[in-house]
Amino acid sequence: MLKIGNVSDLQEEFIKNLKYYRNEKKISQEKLAESCDCATGTIGCIECGRTLPSFEMIDKIATALGVHPADLFLRNASSTVRNTKSVLKTKLLPQIEDFIEKEL
């Protein structure tokens, strides 16, 4: 873990989303730490901005919370991407195929 001084905007967003998903799932810091195979204090230090998690820890946290790692930086990012892909496949793609058939 990297120890830091000031909390960046990105880190603030990460912390806010980590707490949001942890509280939404009703998981304590202790239970999350256990799921991530780390000390309870590690989760506390991440949540208060004293340490930055490694990529491996971000992945473990996301897995334990049942979310995509991107959701810890931008809440609901993965569902937004899925929804966008769905709209493109179900609405835009048929229109493009129809246009191609008519025009080519």
pLDDT per residue as tens digits for the range 40-92: 899 999 999 999 999 999 999 999 999 999 899 887 666 666 666 777 778 77
User: Which CB contacts under 8 angstroms, 24+ apart, belong to 54-62?
Assistant: 54/1, 57/1, 60/35, 60/36, 61/18, 61/32, 61/36
**pTM strictly above 0.75:** no
Q: What was the pLDDT predicted at 6?
A: 57
Whole-angstrom CA distances from 83 to 27, 53, 73, 91 are: 27, 29, 18, 12
